[in-house]
Structure 1
């Protein structure tokens, strides 16, 4: 295979680990796009209503079935790839890692805000929720540029 580093600790498994990493990044991003959109719709419901309870259940499923497992797998596989390629200390990787840490924190904030919604609190304006919905898309675009272009 041309351009593939098979000499690291992953050896021949490298392309498989990379493929799995990209796959779970897609799953994670899908959840990060979906959950804030759910919050926008949930925000408009009456606390305690049947519709409110349905959104709480949907949101919990996204967090527990999609987001948490995908994020954990992305981290494990991503760190395996980073060690295999020995990219620690490269500026593009440091920037990418900072964005991934930021997305992880964003996911934590999503979980916290979901608990507020479930408790009947509507702490943010609808417009703010819609703006927050753009965070993962911007981060994903920046990460792709860092990984593919490696501008520094």
Structure 2
């Protein structure tokens, strides 16, 4: 069990990292849906966003997972249904981030990719994750 003050700090950092991660995934979702089909125009934008994704969004995701697992272990919550549902949506969001990263990589090198419209999925995941974490409905 993590002492009270340390638990609160870990939880606060976990939430801040989660907001950073989801914000990055949502921003990339909007960019991938809005970029023009011409790779010559899209590539410079994709390179800049890819740098941000690699420097900020990916480390935030790793921090979210690390702290989330520490907090779940501390609270002995792995058998709780709310946490299992939350993990499923966090896994979906992490997988979506992987798909987006691949698209950004291809766009940054000048390859054409089909538009990817995932913002509604990101927002739905965020909603379910927040509800599970705060309300713990089951």
- Tell me which of 89, 93, 97 is aligned to 1:107: 97
Residue 35, structure 1, aligned to residue 28, structure 2: yes
Of structures 1 and 2, the one with the larger relative CO (CA 8 A, separation 6+) is 2
- Provide the aligned length of Structure 1 versus Structure 2: 137
Please provide the CA RMSD for this pair: 1.6
Shift of 1:120: 3.7
Q: What does residue 38 of structure 2 align with?
A: 46
TM-score relative to the length of structure 1:
0.82
CA contact (8 A) 2:37 2:112 kept: no
CA contact (8 A) 1:24 1:74 kept: yes
Shift of 1:36: 1.5
Residue 95, structure 1, aligned to residue 85, structure 2: yes
Q: What does residue 146 of structure 1 align with?
A: 132
Shift of 1:31: 0.1
Hey, which of these two has a bigger chunk of helix by percent? 2
Q: After superposition, where does 1:1-152 map in structure 2 within 5 Å?
A: 8=1, 10-11=2-3, 12-42=5-35, 44-48=36-40, 51-124=41-114, 126=115, 129-130=116-117, 132-152=118-138
Shift of 1:55: 0.8
Instruction: Give the gaps of 5 or more residues in structure 1.
Output: 1-7
